[in-house]
A and B are shown apart, each in its own frame.
Chain A
Amino acid sequence: EVQLVESGGGLVKPGGSLRLSCAASGFTLSSYSMNWVRQAPGKGLEWVSSISSSSSFIYYPDSLKGRFTVSRDNAKNSLYLQMNSLRAEDTAVYYCARDPGTAAIDYWGQGTLVTVSS
């Protein structure tokens, strides 16, 4: 069974940093591109980042470039999101999500809540 389990969320002050982790199981992580998607409370979905299977291709929206960094360790079956210079508007549930090769997202984690507040 495919499972994606996020961790590392919590309360952080504006300007602070946080590193999210995603533990993958039930499939071979090294064969898949992966994504981070977030959802602010009561709002819609926002794509945050994608990383190809070997980390050769990494994408972010312009609004997050320079503050967020995605990485992966296929040997540890893990995906990461380093978030720096956090702002109130980064408050959201962050989902780890798998790309089955169609550039869609077929599996999602349960999400981890990040709250940026003083």
Chain B
Amino acid sequence: DIQMTQSPSSLSASVGDRVTITCRASQSISRYLNWYQQKPGKAPKLLIYTASSSQSGVPSRFSGSGSGTDFTLTISSLQPEDFATYYCQQSFSAPRTFGQGTKVEIK
């Protein structure tokens, strides 16, 4: 199975900050990497698919990059509604494993 490791596990940031979350795969997954946002008590929401493609309706401050084993989700200017937990997921092969999550909290 492919293991997905996110870093950091949590971070504190202020509104307006640039935030970067990293996801590393245990083997190459090409660009088969997706990013989700989840708020408490809600289902996850797809932000980015295939590493850098933005899901329809997602604000442009969210962007993804990377290929192979190393990937990044960047929030260019953190907004109050962005405080949430973020997950990466590989869709290269089954089982389609998720990272452990990164909780973005208010500083």
Contacts and interface: CB of A to CB of B under 8 A. Distances in A.
**A and B bind:** yes
B98 A108 contact: no
B89 A47 contact: yes
B99 to A, nearest CB: 8
Contacts of A50: 94, 96
A89 interface: no
A3 to B, nearest CB: 12
| Interface of chain A: mostly helix, strand, loop or mixed | loop
Interface stretch (A56-64, A68-76, A78-86): A56-64
A46 B99 CA distance: 9
Contact of A106 (B32, B55, B89, B99): B55
Q: Please tell me the size bucket of the interface on B.
A: 20 to 34
Interface string A80-118: 000000000000000100000011111011110000000
A26 interface: no
Interface in B35-63: 36, 38, 43-46, 49-50, 53, 55
Contacts of A2: none
A46 B44 CA distance: 12
A95 B50 CA distance: 22
Q: Please tell me the size bucket of the interface on A.
A: 20 to 34
Contact of B43 (A47, A62, A95, A102): A95
B98 A61 contact: no
A11 interface: no
Contacts of A103: 32, 34, 91, 96
Given A46-B98, A61-B1, A102 B87 contact: no
Name the residue in B1, B50, B87, B98 with the highest tally of chain A Cβ atoms < 10 Å from its Cβ: B98
A44 interface: yes
B101 A109 contact: no
B49 A61 contact: no
Contact of B46 (A44, A45, A62, A105): A105
A114 to B, nearest CB: 16
Name the residue in B38, B50, B94 with the highest tally of chain A Cβ atoms < 10 Å from its Cβ: B94
Interface of B: 1, 32, 34, 36, 38, 43-46, 49-50, 53, 55, 87, 89, 91, 94-101
